[in-house]
Chains A and B, each alone.
Chain A
Amino acid sequence: MTTPVSNKKRLAGVTIGSLVLVVVLVQLLPFYVALSTALKSRTDLSSQWIFPTAEIFFGNFAAAISSGNILRAIGNSSIITVVSTILVCVLGALAAYPLARRKSPANTAIALLILGMIMVPPLSILVPLYTLLNQLGALNTYWGAILVMVTTQLPLSIFLYTAFMRSLPISVEEAATVDGANRMQLLFGIVFPMLKPVTATVIILTGVAVWNEFALSGYILTSPQMQTIAPAIASFFSVQSSNLPAAAAASLMAMLPVLVAYLFLQKYFIKGMVAGAEK
Protein backbone atom coordinates (compact mmCIF):
# COMPACT_ATOMS: atom_id res chain seq x y z
CA MET A 1 0.00 0.00 0.00
CA THR A 2 3.00 2.35 0.20
CA THR A 3 2.85 5.00 -2.45
CA PRO A 4 6.00 6.08 -4.35
CA VAL A 5 5.88 9.44 -2.58
CA SER A 6 5.96 8.02 0.92
CA ASN A 7 8.73 5.61 -0.13
CA LYS A 8 10.76 8.51 -1.42
CA LYS A 9 10.13 10.42 1.79
CA ARG A 10 11.19 7.46 3.90
CA LEU A 11 14.37 7.07 1.86
CA ALA A 12 15.16 10.77 2.38
CA GLY A 13 14.55 10.36 6.11
CA VAL A 14 16.88 7.36 6.33
CA THR A 15 19.59 9.14 4.32
CA ILE A 16 19.43 12.26 6.48
CA GLY A 17 19.37 10.16 9.65
CA SER A 18 22.47 8.24 8.53
CA LEU A 19 24.36 11.44 7.73
CA VAL A 20 23.55 12.84 11.16
CA LEU A 21 24.67 9.58 12.72
CA VAL A 22 28.02 9.84 10.91
CA VAL A 23 28.60 13.36 12.28
CA VAL A 24 27.62 12.20 15.79
CA LEU A 25 30.11 9.31 15.59
CA VAL A 26 32.85 11.62 14.28
CA GLN A 27 32.22 13.98 17.21
CA LEU A 28 32.43 11.09 19.69
CA LEU A 29 35.57 9.58 18.14
CA PRO A 30 38.20 11.78 19.87
CA PHE A 31 36.51 11.19 23.25
CA TYR A 32 36.43 7.43 22.66
CA VAL A 33 40.10 7.32 21.63
CA ALA A 34 41.15 9.49 24.59
CA LEU A 35 39.29 7.16 26.95
CA SER A 36 40.64 3.96 25.40
CA THR A 37 44.19 5.41 25.44
CA ALA A 38 43.92 6.67 29.02
CA LEU A 39 42.71 3.30 30.34
CA LYS A 40 45.54 1.24 28.85
CA SER A 41 49.04 0.82 30.23
CA ARG A 42 51.88 2.15 28.10
CA THR A 43 53.06 -1.35 27.36
CA ASP A 44 49.66 -2.28 25.92
CA LEU A 45 50.22 -1.63 22.23
CA SER A 46 46.81 -2.74 21.02
CA SER A 47 45.06 -0.39 18.64
CA GLN A 48 43.33 2.71 19.99
CA TRP A 49 40.18 1.38 18.38
CA ILE A 50 40.10 -1.51 20.87
CA PHE A 51 38.62 -0.63 24.23
CA PRO A 52 40.44 -2.27 27.17
CA THR A 53 37.78 -4.67 28.39
CA ALA A 54 39.97 -7.32 30.05
CA GLU A 55 41.81 -5.09 32.48
CA ILE A 56 41.26 -1.40 33.02
CA PHE A 57 44.43 0.45 33.96
CA PHE A 58 44.32 3.59 36.09
CA GLY A 59 48.08 4.22 36.18
CA ASN A 60 47.85 7.02 33.60
CA PHE A 61 45.58 9.02 35.87
CA ALA A 62 48.05 8.48 38.71
CA ALA A 63 50.89 9.62 36.44
CA ALA A 64 48.98 12.73 35.37
CA ILE A 65 48.39 13.60 39.02
CA SER A 66 51.91 12.90 40.29
CA SER A 67 54.12 14.11 37.45
CA GLY A 68 51.72 16.44 35.64
CA ASN A 69 50.60 18.36 38.70
CA ILE A 70 47.05 18.07 37.38
CA LEU A 71 45.21 18.30 40.72
CA ARG A 72 47.07 21.49 41.58
CA ALA A 73 46.16 22.89 38.14
CA ILE A 74 42.50 21.98 38.61
CA GLY A 75 42.58 23.79 41.97
CA ASN A 76 44.14 26.88 40.38
CA SER A 77 41.59 26.84 37.57
CA SER A 78 38.76 26.51 40.08
CA ILE A 79 39.90 29.54 42.10
CA ILE A 80 40.47 31.70 39.02
CA THR A 81 37.23 30.61 37.34
CA VAL A 82 35.01 31.16 40.41
CA VAL A 83 36.44 34.56 41.37
CA SER A 84 36.54 35.81 37.76
CA THR A 85 32.96 34.71 37.11
CA ILE A 86 31.64 36.47 40.23
CA LEU A 87 33.52 39.66 39.32
CA VAL A 88 32.31 39.56 35.73
CA CYS A 89 28.69 39.25 36.91
CA VAL A 90 28.94 42.05 39.48
CA LEU A 91 31.00 44.51 37.43
CA GLY A 92 29.06 43.68 34.27
CA ALA A 93 25.64 44.22 35.85
CA LEU A 94 26.75 47.45 37.54
CA ALA A 95 28.25 48.84 34.35
CA ALA A 96 25.22 47.90 32.28
CA TYR A 97 22.71 49.83 34.41
CA PRO A 98 23.68 53.38 33.38
CA LEU A 99 24.30 52.21 29.80
CA ALA A 100 20.79 50.78 29.63
CA ARG A 101 18.91 53.45 31.53
CA ARG A 102 20.70 56.74 31.03
CA LYS A 103 20.77 57.56 27.34
CA SER A 104 23.34 60.15 26.37
CA PRO A 105 25.71 60.46 23.42
CA ALA A 106 28.64 59.74 25.74
CA ASN A 107 27.01 56.57 27.09
CA THR A 108 26.17 55.36 23.59
CA ALA A 109 29.79 55.88 22.59
CA ILE A 110 31.01 54.03 25.68
CA ALA A 111 28.67 51.10 25.00
CA LEU A 112 29.98 50.89 21.42
CA LEU A 113 33.60 51.09 22.57
CA ILE A 114 33.04 48.24 25.04
CA LEU A 115 31.37 46.11 22.35
CA GLY A 116 34.30 46.80 20.04
CA MET A 117 36.67 45.31 22.65
CA ILE A 118 35.20 41.87 21.83
CA MET A 119 37.12 42.02 18.55
CA VAL A 120 40.57 42.35 20.17
CA PRO A 121 42.37 39.01 19.73
CA PRO A 122 44.19 38.17 22.98
CA LEU A 123 47.49 37.46 21.25
CA SER A 124 47.51 40.82 19.44
CA ILE A 125 48.16 42.58 22.76
CA LEU A 126 50.49 39.91 24.17
CA VAL A 127 53.68 41.99 24.17
CA PRO A 128 52.33 45.16 25.86
CA LEU A 129 50.08 43.19 28.23
CA TYR A 130 52.88 40.88 29.36
CA THR A 131 55.16 43.90 29.85
CA LEU A 132 52.50 45.67 31.91
CA LEU A 133 51.83 42.61 34.10
CA ASN A 134 55.56 42.21 34.61
CA GLN A 135 55.84 45.85 35.77
CA LEU A 136 52.89 45.35 38.15
CA GLY A 137 54.39 42.14 39.55
CA ALA A 138 51.24 40.34 38.40
CA LEU A 139 52.85 37.46 36.50
CA ASN A 140 52.30 34.09 38.18
CA THR A 141 49.75 35.53 40.62
CA TYR A 142 46.08 34.70 41.02
CA TRP A 143 45.07 38.36 41.03
CA GLY A 144 46.96 39.11 37.83
CA ALA A 145 45.34 36.21 36.00
CA ILE A 146 41.91 37.03 37.45
CA LEU A 147 42.06 40.70 36.41
CA VAL A 148 43.06 39.74 32.87
CA MET A 149 40.35 37.05 32.62
CA VAL A 150 37.72 39.47 33.97
CA THR A 151 38.77 42.13 31.46
CA THR A 152 38.58 39.77 28.49
CA GLN A 153 35.11 38.52 29.51
CA LEU A 154 33.59 41.86 30.59
CA PRO A 155 32.61 43.28 27.17
CA LEU A 156 30.29 40.37 26.32
CA SER A 157 28.72 40.34 29.79
CA ILE A 158 28.13 44.12 29.77
CA PHE A 159 26.53 43.78 26.35
CA LEU A 160 24.24 40.95 27.50
CA TYR A 161 23.25 42.76 30.72
CA THR A 162 22.58 46.03 28.86
CA ALA A 163 20.38 44.32 26.27
CA PHE A 164 18.47 42.48 28.99
CA MET A 165 17.93 45.58 31.16
CA ARG A 166 16.58 47.51 28.18
CA SER A 167 13.97 44.78 27.76
CA LEU A 168 12.77 45.22 31.37
CA PRO A 169 9.87 47.65 31.91
CA ILE A 170 11.09 50.85 33.54
CA SER A 171 7.75 51.27 35.34
CA VAL A 172 8.85 48.85 38.10
CA GLU A 173 11.80 51.07 38.93
CA GLU A 174 9.65 54.21 38.75
CA ALA A 175 7.08 52.72 41.11
CA ALA A 176 9.79 51.79 43.60
CA THR A 177 11.15 55.34 43.48
CA VAL A 178 7.70 56.74 44.12
CA ASP A 179 7.45 54.39 47.09
CA GLY A 180 10.60 56.01 48.43
CA ALA A 181 13.29 53.45 47.63
CA ASN A 182 16.76 54.98 47.63
CA ARG A 183 19.41 54.25 45.01
CA MET A 184 20.92 51.27 46.79
CA GLN A 185 17.53 49.73 47.54
CA LEU A 186 16.49 50.23 43.95
CA LEU A 187 19.60 48.56 42.50
CA PHE A 188 20.00 45.71 44.93
CA GLY A 189 16.37 45.20 45.90
CA ILE A 190 14.57 45.75 42.59
CA VAL A 191 16.89 45.64 39.56
CA PHE A 192 19.41 42.91 40.40
CA PRO A 193 16.85 40.27 41.42
CA MET A 194 15.26 40.62 37.95
CA LEU A 195 18.55 39.71 36.27
CA LYS A 196 18.56 35.99 37.13
CA PRO A 197 18.01 34.62 33.58
CA VAL A 198 20.75 36.73 31.98
CA THR A 199 23.07 36.05 34.93
CA ALA A 200 22.74 32.30 34.28
CA THR A 201 23.89 32.97 30.71
CA VAL A 202 26.81 35.12 31.83
CA ILE A 203 27.91 32.54 34.42
CA ILE A 204 27.92 29.74 31.84
CA LEU A 205 29.71 31.73 29.12
CA THR A 206 32.31 33.18 31.50
CA GLY A 207 32.82 29.99 33.49
CA VAL A 208 33.44 27.84 30.41
CA ALA A 209 35.65 30.46 28.74
CA VAL A 210 37.87 31.00 31.79
CA TRP A 211 38.11 27.30 32.66
CA ASN A 212 39.25 26.51 29.10
CA GLU A 213 41.42 29.60 28.55
CA PHE A 214 44.91 28.97 27.22
CA ALA A 215 46.18 31.75 24.95
CA LEU A 216 46.88 34.31 27.71
CA SER A 217 47.03 32.19 30.88
CA GLY A 218 49.66 30.03 29.18
CA TYR A 219 51.97 33.08 29.22
CA ILE A 220 50.79 34.75 32.46
CA LEU A 221 50.94 31.63 34.65
CA THR A 222 54.09 29.72 33.80
CA SER A 223 55.32 28.38 37.14
CA PRO A 224 54.17 24.78 37.80
CA GLN A 225 52.62 25.88 41.10
CA MET A 226 50.42 28.51 39.42
CA GLN A 227 49.50 26.83 36.15
CA THR A 228 45.85 26.42 35.23
CA ILE A 229 44.46 23.31 33.58
CA ALA A 230 44.76 24.07 29.84
CA PRO A 231 48.41 25.24 29.99
CA ALA A 232 49.19 22.32 32.31
CA ILE A 233 47.93 19.86 29.71
CA ALA A 234 49.75 21.67 26.91
CA SER A 235 53.08 21.71 28.75
CA PHE A 236 52.65 18.16 30.01
CA PHE A 237 51.99 17.17 26.43
CA SER A 238 55.15 18.72 24.98
CA VAL A 239 57.50 17.90 27.85
CA GLN A 240 56.43 14.27 27.99
CA SER A 241 55.12 13.69 24.51
CA SER A 242 56.32 10.10 24.90
CA ASN A 243 53.69 9.61 27.62
CA LEU A 244 50.56 10.34 25.65
CA PRO A 245 48.31 8.06 27.74
CA ALA A 246 48.93 10.36 30.72
CA ALA A 247 48.11 13.39 28.58
CA ALA A 248 44.87 11.68 27.57
CA ALA A 249 44.06 11.01 31.23
CA ALA A 250 44.78 14.64 32.12
CA SER A 251 42.52 15.81 29.28
CA LEU A 252 39.65 13.68 30.55
CA MET A 253 40.09 15.04 34.08
CA ALA A 254 40.15 18.62 32.75
CA MET A 255 36.83 18.30 30.94
CA LEU A 256 35.02 16.41 33.71
CA PRO A 257 33.67 19.42 35.66
CA VAL A 258 32.29 21.05 32.51
CA LEU A 259 30.76 17.75 31.32
CA VAL A 260 29.02 17.17 34.65
CA ALA A 261 27.61 20.70 34.61
CA TYR A 262 26.51 20.23 30.97
CA LEU A 263 24.78 16.96 31.80
CA PHE A 264 22.60 18.59 34.45
CA LEU A 265 22.12 22.05 32.99
CA GLN A 266 22.01 21.24 29.28
CA LYS A 267 19.01 23.43 28.55
CA TYR A 268 20.63 26.48 30.13
CA PHE A 269 23.93 25.85 28.36
CA ILE A 270 22.40 25.80 24.88
CA LYS A 271 20.08 28.74 25.58
CA GLY A 272 22.95 30.69 27.09
CA MET A 273 25.27 30.01 24.19
CA VAL A 274 22.65 31.19 21.69
CA ALA A 275 22.10 34.38 23.69
CA GLY A 276 25.85 34.90 23.81
CA ALA A 277 26.27 34.28 20.09
CA GLU A 278 23.47 36.54 18.92
CA LYS A 279 25.22 39.72 19.82
Chain B
Amino acid sequence: MSTLTLSPQKRRRRNRSPLGGRSINLLYVPALALLALFTIYPLINGILLSFTNWNGYSAARSNVGLDNYVRLFSDETFRLVLLNTFIYGIGSTIIQQILGLGLAIALDRKMRGKNIARAIIYLPVLVSPVVMGTMYYLLFQYNNGAFNDIVVGLGGERVAWLSDSGAAVGIIVVVNSLQFAGISMIIYLAGLQSIPQMYYEASTVDGASTFEQFRYISVPLLQPAFATSIVLNLIGGLKLFDVIEVMTGGGPGYSTNSVSTLIGISYFDNQSAGYASGMGVVLFMIIVVFTLALNTLLNRRRLEQQ
Protein backbone atom coordinates (compact mmCIF):
# COMPACT_ATOMS: atom_id res chain seq x y z
CA MET B 1 0.00 0.00 0.00
CA SER B 2 2.64 2.44 1.02
CA THR B 3 4.61 2.05 -2.18
CA LEU B 4 1.43 2.58 -4.18
CA THR B 5 0.64 5.87 -2.51
CA LEU B 6 4.22 7.03 -2.61
CA SER B 7 5.03 6.24 -6.18
CA PRO B 8 3.00 8.93 -7.97
CA GLN B 9 4.62 11.58 -5.84
CA LYS B 10 8.05 10.16 -6.40
CA ARG B 11 7.47 9.98 -10.08
CA ARG B 12 6.25 13.55 -10.23
CA ARG B 13 9.41 14.75 -8.56
CA ARG B 14 11.65 12.73 -10.85
CA ASN B 15 9.91 14.04 -13.95
CA ARG B 16 11.50 17.37 -14.54
CA SER B 17 9.11 17.95 -17.41
CA PRO B 18 5.82 19.65 -16.65
CA LEU B 19 4.49 17.53 -19.50
CA GLY B 20 4.72 14.66 -17.07
CA GLY B 21 4.22 11.04 -17.93
CA ARG B 22 6.35 8.61 -19.83
CA SER B 23 4.23 9.25 -22.92
CA ILE B 24 6.25 12.31 -23.89
CA ASN B 25 8.94 9.82 -24.86
CA LEU B 26 6.73 9.19 -27.89
CA LEU B 27 8.18 12.39 -29.32
CA TYR B 28 11.47 10.71 -30.17
CA VAL B 29 9.87 7.67 -31.76
CA PRO B 30 9.78 9.08 -35.34
CA ALA B 31 13.46 10.06 -35.22
CA LEU B 32 14.46 6.75 -33.65
CA ALA B 33 12.43 4.82 -36.23
CA LEU B 34 14.33 6.54 -39.07
CA LEU B 35 17.69 5.93 -37.39
CA ALA B 36 16.78 2.31 -36.74
CA LEU B 37 15.70 1.70 -40.34
CA PHE B 38 18.39 3.63 -42.25
CA THR B 39 21.43 3.45 -39.94
CA ILE B 40 21.20 0.77 -37.25
CA TYR B 41 19.59 -1.94 -39.39
CA PRO B 42 22.10 -1.41 -42.26
CA LEU B 43 24.94 -1.42 -39.73
CA ILE B 44 23.86 -4.81 -38.34
CA ASN B 45 22.99 -6.18 -41.76
CA GLY B 46 26.41 -5.04 -43.00
CA ILE B 47 28.11 -7.09 -40.31
CA LEU B 48 26.00 -10.14 -41.25
CA LEU B 49 26.70 -9.65 -44.98
CA SER B 50 30.43 -9.44 -44.29
CA PHE B 51 30.36 -13.13 -43.33
CA THR B 52 28.93 -14.11 -46.73
CA ASN B 53 30.12 -14.26 -50.32
CA TRP B 54 27.08 -12.38 -51.68
CA ASN B 55 27.63 -10.72 -55.06
CA GLY B 56 25.12 -7.92 -54.45
CA TYR B 57 22.20 -8.90 -56.70
CA SER B 58 21.53 -12.65 -56.93
CA ALA B 59 19.56 -14.60 -54.32
CA ALA B 60 22.47 -16.97 -53.81
CA ARG B 61 24.77 -16.38 -50.90
CA SER B 62 26.52 -18.69 -48.54
CA ASN B 63 28.21 -18.28 -45.25
CA VAL B 64 31.98 -18.05 -45.53
CA GLY B 65 32.78 -17.25 -41.91
CA LEU B 66 35.75 -14.95 -41.50
CA ASP B 67 37.04 -15.51 -45.06
CA ASN B 68 36.36 -11.91 -46.14
CA TYR B 69 38.36 -10.54 -43.22
CA VAL B 70 41.22 -12.97 -43.81
CA ARG B 71 41.19 -11.94 -47.47
CA LEU B 72 41.12 -8.24 -46.55
CA PHE B 73 44.30 -8.33 -44.57
CA SER B 74 46.19 -10.49 -47.05
CA ASP B 75 45.01 -8.32 -49.97
CA GLU B 76 47.87 -6.09 -51.19
CA THR B 77 45.41 -3.58 -52.64
CA PHE B 78 43.46 -3.29 -49.41
CA ARG B 79 46.63 -2.83 -47.38
CA LEU B 80 47.69 -0.01 -49.70
CA VAL B 81 44.23 1.56 -49.50
CA LEU B 82 44.24 1.26 -45.71
CA LEU B 83 47.61 3.04 -45.65
CA ASN B 84 46.17 5.79 -47.93
CA THR B 85 43.20 6.15 -45.57
CA PHE B 86 45.54 6.71 -42.62
CA ILE B 87 47.58 9.20 -44.67
CA TYR B 88 44.41 11.09 -45.63
CA GLY B 89 43.18 11.06 -42.02
CA ILE B 90 46.38 11.78 -40.11
CA GLY B 91 48.02 13.96 -42.78
CA SER B 92 44.98 16.22 -43.10
CA THR B 93 44.62 16.44 -39.33
CA ILE B 94 48.22 17.58 -38.86
CA ILE B 95 48.12 20.17 -41.66
CA GLN B 96 44.74 21.48 -40.51
CA GLN B 97 45.91 21.96 -36.91
CA ILE B 98 49.04 23.85 -38.02
CA LEU B 99 47.08 26.03 -40.46
CA GLY B 100 44.06 26.44 -38.22
CA LEU B 101 45.96 27.35 -35.07
CA GLY B 102 48.44 29.56 -36.93
CA LEU B 103 45.66 31.47 -38.68
CA ALA B 104 43.65 31.76 -35.47
CA ILE B 105 46.61 33.28 -33.61
CA ALA B 106 47.37 35.64 -36.52
CA LEU B 107 43.76 36.72 -36.95
CA ASP B 108 43.18 37.15 -33.22
CA ARG B 109 45.61 40.10 -33.35
CA LYS B 110 44.72 43.62 -34.38
CA MET B 111 45.05 43.61 -38.14
CA ARG B 112 43.53 45.49 -41.03
CA GLY B 113 41.12 43.39 -43.09
CA LYS B 114 41.07 40.49 -40.64
CA ASN B 115 37.33 40.00 -40.96
CA ILE B 116 37.47 39.62 -44.72
CA ALA B 117 40.51 37.33 -44.36
CA ARG B 118 38.54 35.10 -41.97
CA ALA B 119 35.55 35.06 -44.31
CA ILE B 120 37.66 34.06 -47.34
CA ILE B 121 39.65 31.37 -45.50
CA TYR B 122 36.37 29.94 -44.21
CA LEU B 123 34.58 30.09 -47.60
CA PRO B 124 35.69 26.66 -48.99
CA VAL B 125 34.10 24.92 -45.98
CA LEU B 126 30.70 25.76 -47.48
CA VAL B 127 31.50 24.52 -50.98
CA SER B 128 30.85 20.91 -51.95
CA PRO B 129 34.05 18.84 -51.91
CA VAL B 130 33.03 17.71 -55.40
CA VAL B 131 33.21 21.33 -56.57
CA MET B 132 36.51 21.95 -54.74
CA GLY B 133 37.94 18.79 -56.31
CA THR B 134 36.80 19.92 -59.76
CA MET B 135 38.39 23.34 -59.34
CA TYR B 136 41.66 21.91 -58.05
CA TYR B 137 41.65 19.43 -60.93
CA LEU B 138 41.74 22.42 -63.28
CA LEU B 139 44.83 23.70 -61.45
CA PHE B 140 46.66 20.37 -61.54
CA GLN B 141 45.62 19.06 -64.98
CA TYR B 142 48.40 18.04 -67.33
CA ASN B 143 47.60 20.19 -70.36
CA ASN B 144 46.94 23.86 -69.79
CA GLY B 145 46.74 23.44 -66.00
CA ALA B 146 47.69 26.53 -64.05
CA PHE B 147 50.60 24.88 -62.23
CA ASN B 148 52.02 23.28 -65.36
CA ASP B 149 51.85 26.69 -67.05
CA ILE B 150 54.25 27.95 -64.39
CA VAL B 151 56.51 24.90 -64.75
CA VAL B 152 56.63 25.32 -68.54
CA GLY B 153 57.09 29.07 -68.18
CA LEU B 154 60.16 28.42 -66.03
CA GLY B 155 61.52 26.19 -68.78
CA GLY B 156 60.61 22.82 -67.21
CA GLU B 157 58.77 19.76 -68.47
CA ARG B 158 55.07 19.34 -67.71
CA VAL B 159 54.48 17.39 -64.50
CA ALA B 160 51.87 14.60 -64.39
CA TRP B 161 50.70 15.68 -60.93
CA LEU B 162 47.69 13.42 -60.66
CA SER B 163 48.99 10.38 -62.56
CA ASP B 164 51.82 9.91 -60.10
CA SER B 165 50.29 8.04 -57.18
CA GLY B 166 52.61 9.46 -54.51
CA ALA B 167 52.12 13.04 -55.66
CA ALA B 168 48.36 12.53 -56.09
CA VAL B 169 47.92 11.25 -52.52
CA GLY B 170 49.82 14.29 -51.25
CA ILE B 171 47.77 16.66 -53.41
CA ILE B 172 44.51 15.14 -52.15
CA VAL B 173 45.68 15.60 -48.54
CA VAL B 174 46.54 19.25 -49.23
CA VAL B 175 43.24 19.94 -51.04
CA ASN B 176 41.21 18.40 -48.21
CA SER B 177 43.27 20.27 -45.58
CA LEU B 178 42.91 23.65 -47.29
CA GLN B 179 39.18 23.17 -47.75
CA PHE B 180 38.51 22.49 -44.08
CA ALA B 181 41.29 24.53 -42.43
CA GLY B 182 38.62 27.20 -41.89
CA ILE B 183 36.76 24.98 -39.41
CA SER B 184 39.89 24.53 -37.28
CA MET B 185 40.62 28.24 -37.52
CA ILE B 186 37.15 29.15 -36.25
CA ILE B 187 37.32 26.59 -33.42
CA TYR B 188 40.73 27.88 -32.27
CA LEU B 189 39.61 31.51 -32.61
CA ALA B 190 36.62 30.80 -30.38
CA GLY B 191 38.98 29.07 -27.94
CA LEU B 192 41.48 31.96 -27.91
CA GLN B 193 38.73 34.51 -27.39
CA SER B 194 37.43 32.64 -24.37
CA ILE B 195 40.79 33.04 -22.56
CA PRO B 196 40.58 36.02 -20.17
CA GLN B 197 42.88 38.84 -21.28
CA MET B 198 44.09 39.41 -17.72
CA TYR B 199 46.14 36.18 -17.78
CA TYR B 200 48.27 37.66 -20.55
CA GLU B 201 48.47 41.04 -18.85
CA ALA B 202 49.56 39.51 -15.54
CA SER B 203 52.22 37.38 -17.24
CA THR B 204 53.56 40.41 -19.14
CA VAL B 205 54.05 42.17 -15.83
CA ASP B 206 55.95 39.09 -14.65
CA GLY B 207 58.18 39.36 -17.70
CA ALA B 208 56.95 36.36 -19.70
CA SER B 209 57.92 36.24 -23.38
CA THR B 210 55.32 35.83 -26.13
CA PHE B 211 56.39 32.23 -26.60
CA GLU B 212 56.09 31.52 -22.89
CA GLN B 213 52.62 33.06 -22.88
CA PHE B 214 51.65 30.81 -25.78
CA ARG B 215 53.15 27.69 -24.19
CA TYR B 216 51.92 28.17 -20.62
CA ILE B 217 48.66 30.09 -21.07
CA SER B 218 47.19 29.54 -24.55
CA VAL B 219 48.08 25.87 -25.09
CA PRO B 220 46.70 24.51 -21.79
CA LEU B 221 43.53 26.61 -22.02
CA LEU B 222 42.99 25.58 -25.65
CA GLN B 223 42.72 21.87 -24.71
CA PRO B 224 38.95 21.67 -25.41
CA ALA B 225 39.50 23.34 -28.79
CA PHE B 226 42.32 20.88 -29.61
CA ALA B 227 40.06 17.94 -28.75
CA THR B 228 37.15 19.23 -30.86
CA SER B 229 39.23 20.19 -33.87
CA ILE B 230 41.44 17.08 -33.94
CA VAL B 231 38.56 14.60 -33.60
CA LEU B 232 36.47 16.42 -36.22
CA ASN B 233 39.33 16.61 -38.77
CA LEU B 234 40.40 13.02 -38.18
CA ILE B 235 36.91 11.59 -38.76
CA GLY B 236 36.57 13.76 -41.89
CA GLY B 237 39.93 12.62 -43.26
CA LEU B 238 39.45 8.92 -42.52
CA LYS B 239 36.14 8.79 -44.39
CA LEU B 240 37.40 10.93 -47.29
CA PHE B 241 35.51 10.15 -50.50
CA ASP B 242 34.36 13.08 -52.67
CA VAL B 243 37.69 14.76 -53.49
CA ILE B 244 39.30 11.43 -54.42
CA GLU B 245 36.40 10.48 -56.70
CA VAL B 246 36.65 13.72 -58.62
CA MET B 247 40.42 14.28 -58.75
CA THR B 248 41.75 10.78 -59.47
CA GLY B 249 38.81 8.35 -59.35
CA GLY B 250 41.05 6.26 -57.08
CA GLY B 251 43.64 5.82 -59.84
CA PRO B 252 46.12 5.34 -61.30
CA GLY B 253 45.22 1.70 -60.69
CA TYR B 254 43.98 1.50 -57.12
CA SER B 255 46.78 3.69 -55.80
CA THR B 256 44.87 6.71 -54.47
CA ASN B 257 41.72 4.98 -53.19
CA SER B 258 40.56 5.35 -49.61
CA VAL B 259 38.57 2.58 -47.93
CA SER B 260 35.41 4.60 -48.73
CA THR B 261 36.05 4.81 -52.49
CA LEU B 262 37.19 1.17 -52.63
CA ILE B 263 33.87 0.07 -51.06
CA GLY B 264 31.99 1.61 -53.98
CA ILE B 265 34.30 -0.06 -56.51
CA SER B 266 34.10 -3.50 -54.84
CA TYR B 267 30.32 -3.38 -54.62
CA PHE B 268 29.31 -1.92 -57.97
CA ASP B 269 32.24 -2.73 -60.25
CA ASN B 270 33.54 -6.00 -58.82
CA GLN B 271 30.21 -7.39 -57.51
CA SER B 272 31.80 -8.34 -54.19
CA ALA B 273 29.06 -7.16 -51.83
CA GLY B 274 30.13 -9.41 -48.96
CA TYR B 275 33.73 -8.28 -49.30
CA ALA B 276 32.71 -4.61 -49.54
CA SER B 277 30.57 -5.02 -46.39
CA GLY B 278 33.64 -6.31 -44.59
CA MET B 279 35.54 -3.17 -45.62
CA GLY B 280 32.64 -1.07 -44.32
CA VAL B 281 32.82 -2.82 -40.94
CA VAL B 282 36.61 -2.26 -40.80
CA LEU B 283 36.22 1.44 -41.70
CA PHE B 284 33.54 1.93 -39.04
CA MET B 285 35.69 0.16 -36.42
CA ILE B 286 38.73 2.31 -37.30
CA ILE B 287 36.71 5.49 -36.82
CA VAL B 288 35.17 4.29 -33.54
CA VAL B 289 38.57 3.25 -32.13
CA PHE B 290 40.28 6.50 -33.20
CA THR B 291 37.47 8.69 -31.86
CA LEU B 292 37.22 6.93 -28.50
CA ALA B 293 41.00 6.76 -28.07
CA LEU B 294 41.47 10.44 -28.92
CA ASN B 295 38.61 11.52 -26.70
CA THR B 296 40.06 9.60 -23.76
CA LEU B 297 43.59 10.85 -24.44
CA LEU B 298 42.70 14.51 -24.97
CA ASN B 299 40.28 14.64 -22.05
CA ARG B 300 42.81 13.01 -19.74
CA ARG B 301 45.42 15.57 -20.74
CA ARG B 302 42.93 18.29 -20.00
CA LEU B 303 42.29 16.89 -16.53
CA GLU B 304 45.99 16.57 -15.76
CA GLN B 305 46.59 20.19 -16.58
CA GLN B 306 43.90 21.50 -14.34
A residues touching B (Cβ–Cβ < 8 Å)?
Answer: 13, 16-17, 19-21, 23-24, 26-31, 33-34, 37, 45, 47-49, 91-92, 94-99, 101-104, 107, 110, 114, 117, 119-132, 147-148, 150-152, 154-155, 158, 170, 173-174, 176-177, 183, 186-187, 208, 211-215, 218-219, 229-231, 233-234, 237-238, 244, 247-248, 251, 254-255, 258-259, 262, 266, 269-270, 273-274, 277-279
Contacts and interface: CB of A to CB of B under 8 A. Distances in A.
A92 to B, nearest CB: 7
Contacts, number: 300
B46 interface: yes
A154 B31 contact: yes
Interface residues of B, number: 99
B19 interface: yes
The 4 closest A-B pairs by CB, nearest first: A212-B128, A30-B135, A124-B280, A101-B17
B103 interface: yes
B159 interface: no
B106 A97 contact: no
B280 A97 contact: no
B126 to A, nearest CB: 5
A233 B131 CA distance: 8
A244 B187 CA distance: 36
A269 B137 CA distance: 27
A123 B132 contact: no
A127 B17 contact: no
A154 B238 CA distance: 21
Contact of A277 (B186, B238, B267): B186
Nearest to A77: B128
B130 A273 contact: no
A151 to B, nearest CB: 4
Contact of A258 (B46, B127, B279): B127
Given A29-B139, A94-B27, A127-B46, A24 B117 contact: yes
Contact of A126 (B39, B109, B246, B267): B267
A69 B273 CA distance: 31
A101 B118 CA distance: 38
A182 to B, nearest CB: 9
22 contacts: A16-B111, A29-B139, A33-B135, A97-B24, A114-B35, A120-B43, A121-B235, A123-B239, A123-B263, A127-B56, A127-B267, A132-B45, A152-B38, A155-B35, A177-B19, A183-B19, A211-B128, A230-B131, A230-B242, A237-B137, A255-B127, A270-B122
Contacts of B24: 97-98, 101-102, 183
Nearest to A35: B135
Contact of B42 (A33, A92, A125): A125
B242 A214 contact: yes
B242 A215 contact: yes
Interface in B274-297: 276-277, 279-281, 283-284, 287-288, 291
